[in-house]
Structure 1
Amino acid sequence: MTGEVPPETSKEEAADLLAKLVSIDTRNPPGREKPLAEFIYEWLESREIDAEIVDRPDPDRPQVVAEIGAGDPDAGKLVLNGHMDVVPPGDRDRWSVDPFNGVVADGRVYGRGTSDMKAGLAAAMLAGRAAESSGAVDGKLILTFVMGEETAEPGTKTLLEGIDADYGVVLEPTELHVHTVAKGLAWYAVEIGGKSSHASKPELGKNALDALFGNEARLSAYRHRIAERTHPLIGESLCTPTMVSAGTKENVIPESAELRMDRRFLPSEDVDDLDEEIDGVFDPLREEGFDVSINRVRTYEAAEIDPDEHVATVFRKHANDVAGVDTAPAGKNAATDQRNFVNDAGIPAIIWGPGTSAQSHTTDEWARVDLLHDSVDVLCRAVEDLCSVSVEET
């Protein structure tokens, strides 16, 4: 490979490909990845890239794997990973464009999933084409297009079970900054059971909503306590109440209340310890006679690699050379499939991509065409370094 974007990859083509990907509605829930998986598979096959449709873990939501290169055992093997699903667009009347039309304007592509993370998918496809056309990949470049990331499903984890690789890149939006660590995420459902009565005689009931509000000081103290746990690249540990539901009618003492919480945790924190901590916050309500059940309903583990891991230093160098991107170590506050590479497969992986993180899940979401174009250049250079027989770690 030449280390440069091949002449046929123009900004216009990159934008057009991203617009096509966005125009395929892959919102999750409910999970509509199949049409996009078929599009990507056909796009790769038409460019003589060896691709495969994988029907695990869900045959109705297939994934795509492609391999490029000679497979020399003395050369490196790199995985580029991206999820095909996107979050729902929300109230479409708030959008100034059709969220699934892929509008190109003013150096941006607009639509749901542009930044998170179909720009990353487009970059992987175009870099894969460049690698195949060059015929100069000594090792292996592996492309994985996965399902279910937005809902913590085992898309990436399933594909990695059959892949042997030295490095990984999770193509989440970072504006070409290299992130080597990501926070974990745990969602909790706290259900408080009391006793109903007529609101004119509240003393005959046990008001579950009063119990929940009365516990606010304990929860606040816990949130302040865990905020003292910090990481130099991703900041503090967090616990944020996000949803409350209670009551059946205005004049009925609520016999139950539910609180949902978003718990962001650091690599140094163990998820089982989080369960015990959350449970302890609500123990006093049990002592007051309320039934309390707490369930962790979704988990994304935290993940981290050394900031000076070879894959990180290679991408920092080329992102700086191509686009002047800052080389300072960085991390991502959100959870990603990096955890499946690092924690499950033992593959050192960075989080890196052309999207803009602040655009994730927003109304009128957009991605910059110049960053998408630059990302293909960076990927070509990185593949040349990482998938060569003469890999020299720095």
Structure 2
Amino acid sequence: MTQVPETELVALVTELVATGQPWCENSLDGPARPPEEERIARPLAARLSDWGFAVELAGRSPRRPNVVAVKRFGPGPTLVLNDHLDTYPAGPPSRWPICEGEPYAAVVAEGRIYGRGTSDTRANLAALLLAARRVLDDPPSRGTLAVVLTVDEERNGGDGSCYLLDDYGLRADASITVEPTAWQDDSGGGIALAVANTGHALFDITAHGTASHIWRPDTGVNPAAFLSQALAAIVTEPVGDWPISIVGLEAGEAGMAQFTPLRARARVAAVNVGPGVAAGELLTAFHARLAALAPAGITVEVEYVPGPTFVPGSVAVPADDPVVRAIGDAYRTVTGKPVRHYVKPAFNDTIRFRHAGISAVTFGPGDDGWAVYDESISVDKTLLAVDVLERAVRGYFAIAAPDVGAVATAEADAVG
């Protein structure tokens, strides 16, 4: 099995980094502009069709179509290769010095490709596409491969994986989401296998107090002062097992600087949410901690940011599951080392697939560190991922029994 040429990989990543941007940007708390992933979905759908997949574009909106590309080789289970089409925002161009202020013009430097979406997830997507094409070039004799490229992943999948599972009727026996799981340690670097994910929540805390003149702070109760102190306490000693990131603070009114504010608000992300946590449980726990910290005269509200902004984690896929075994065998064949299993501390579509009962895992060459600016990915790890993913697809169909799962009969459709 020959390796994909580096020049081919770099060319594809460079193309994907530029395609559809900046319209594919999507923020967890609501995008600055409505995302339009169709700008990358349609050319990718055409490419997959040219390779021999049966392709459908499906979504709640024509500007946000998910790509579902299916190739049935014969009787056997259905395996999904998944990635997403949106990226998180690039922010001001001036914050991208290595890219010389052009976050969508990929730059290769010192063995890495730089640009918005390289690590999350245009280069991972390139690895998926190249692996899928190689499988079709020498097709196996059984099983069904579905390439599922989703919109809205950066905002927890409401119009993407949730839509496909709940409305479109996507079904599969296993899935591999090609998202960042690369890691570094003292012995070098590798790509790990995430067999589970922790979830997260995004919510607003609003504190109400009593305004005073700035010359007489003793006559009021300042909610901004309370909230800053309370959040500092929660950062130091988290509520439950959920560390927080404070992503927004707001207090005061324009033209009212002579007075302390009546209200202060913080937008907070809580992470490390396990699979058994209920949405109400998290809100209740945070409200109880804040109420216990509040002095007389302060009242507190805690509510989720609108949208699918609470996501519980997923239960781990067992080590003996065919998809876990297939990736482990492929990784050892390519690298000579065992693949490391871990729990990915972040959302991706794996969580939604796992909640639906699919044996869903995550494996991809992106760095599990999420660079804010000058995002990049290792060229060598991306090439490695292509090889491992191709072998894993073939290995999965060889390991999994032909009659496994809801869609694994000889007559069954792959999806939908």
Deviation of the 1:67 alpha carbon: 0.6
List per-residue Cα deviations over 1:312-370 (Å, max 9, x = no partner).
12212211221345423212112222111111x21011111121222x24321112222
Structure 1 residues 390 and 217: alpha-carbon distance in aligned structure 2, compared to 1, 3 A threshold: closer
Deviation of the 1:100 alpha carbon: 0.5
Any conservation in 2 of the 1:190–1:292 contact (CA below 8 Å)? yes
One-letter amino acid of the counterpart of residue 365, structure 1: E
Partner of 2:11 in structure 1?
Answer: 16
Residue 196 of structure 1: which of 211, 234, 257 is its match? 211
Partner of 1:27 in structure 2?
Answer: 25
Partner of 2:260 in structure 1?
Answer: 253
Structure 1 residues 325 and 147: alpha-carbon distance in aligned structure 2, compared to 1, 3 A threshold: farther
SS in 2 for 1:387: helix
| TM-score of the aligned structures, taking structure 2 as reference length | 0.83
Partner of 2:347 in structure 1?
Answer: 335
Between 325-334 and 369-378, the greater mean CA deviation after superposition? 325-334
Partner of 1:205 in structure 2?
Answer: 220
Structure 1 residues 167 and 190: alpha-carbon distance in aligned structure 2, compared to 1, 3 A threshold: same
Any conservation in 1 of the 2:211–2:259 contact (CA below 8 Å)? yes
Mapping of 1:35-54 within 5 angstroms?
35-54=39-58
Deviation of the 1:253 alpha carbon: 1.1
Deviation of the 1:272 alpha carbon: 2.3
Structure 1 residues 252 and 379: alpha-carbon distance in aligned structure 2, compared to 1, 3 A threshold: same
Partner of 1:59 in structure 2?
Answer: 62
CA distance in 2, matches of 1:370, 1:160: 34
Between 202-211 and 63-72, the greater mean CA deviation after superposition? 202-211
Mapping of 1:96-107 within 5 angstroms?
96-97=98-99, 98-107=102-111
Give yes or no for the alignment of 1:321 onto 2:325.
no
Structure 1 residues 356 and 45: alpha-carbon distance in aligned structure 2, compared to 1, 3 A threshold: same
List per-residue Cα deviations over 1:232-255 (Å, max 9, x = no partner).
xxxxx4234343221234421111
Deviation of the 1:86 alpha carbon: 0.7
Any conservation in 2 of the 1:49–1:129 contact (CA below 8 Å)? no
Structure 1 residues 34 and 217: alpha-carbon distance in aligned structure 2, compared to 1, 3 A threshold: closer
Instruction: Give percent identity, aligned residues only.
Output: 29
CA distance in 1, matches of 2:36, 2:114: 20
List per-residue Cα deviations over 1:198-225 (Å, max 9, x = no partner).
21233443321233245457636751x6
Give yes or no for the alignment of 1:348 onto 2:359.
yes
One-letter amino acid of the counterpart of residue 291, structure 1: T
Any conservation in 2 of the 1:341–1:347 contact (CA below 8 Å)? yes
One-letter amino acid of the counterpart of residue 382, structure 2: L
SS in 2 for 1:143: strand
Could you list the runs of 5+ residues in structure 2 that have no partner in the other structure? Answer: 183-190, 405-416
SS in 1 for 2:42: helix
Any conservation in 2 of the 1:218–1:281 contact (CA below 8 Å)? no
One-letter amino acid of the counterpart of residue 121, structure 1: L
Aligned length: 373
Mapping of 1:115-194 within 5 angstroms?
115-154=119-158, 155-161=160-166, 162-175=169-182, 176-194=191-209
Any conservation in 2 of the 1:85–1:150 contact (CA below 8 Å)? yes
CA distance in 2, matches of 1:141, 1:322: 22
RMSD of aligned C-alpha atoms?
2.4
SS in 1 for 2:269: strand
Any conservation in 2 of the 1:185–1:299 contact (CA below 8 Å)? yes
Deviation of the 1:280 alpha carbon: 0.4
One-letter amino acid of the counterpart of residue 226, structure 1: G
CA distance in 2, matches of 1:118, 1:258: 35
SS in 2 for 1:346: coil
Any conservation in 1 of the 2:235–2:243 contact (CA below 8 Å)? no
Mapping of 1:339-378 within 5 angstroms?
339-343=351-355, 345-358=356-369, 360-378=370-388
One-letter amino acid of the counterpart of residue 11, structure 2: D
Any conservation in 1 of the 2:192–2:339 contact (CA below 8 Å)? yes
One-letter amino acid of the counterpart of residue 377, structure 2: A
List per-residue Cα deviations over 1:126-159 (Å, max 9, x = no partner).
1221222223241101001111111223201222
Give yes or no for the alignment of 1:383 onto 2:416.
no
Any conservation in 2 of the 1:177–1:326 contact (CA below 8 Å)? no
Any conservation in 1 of the 2:156–2:347 contact (CA below 8 Å)? no
Partner of 2:315 in structure 1?
Answer: 304
Could you list the runs of 5+ residues in structure 1 that have no partner in the other structure? Answer: 228-236
SS in 2 for 1:67: strand
One-letter amino acid of the counterpart of residue 397, structure 2: C
Structure 1 residues 131 and 137: alpha-carbon distance in aligned structure 2, compared to 1, 3 A threshold: farther
CA distance in 2, matches of 1:106, 1:210: 47
SS in 2 for 1:380: helix
| TM-score of the aligned structures, taking structure 1 as reference length | 0.87
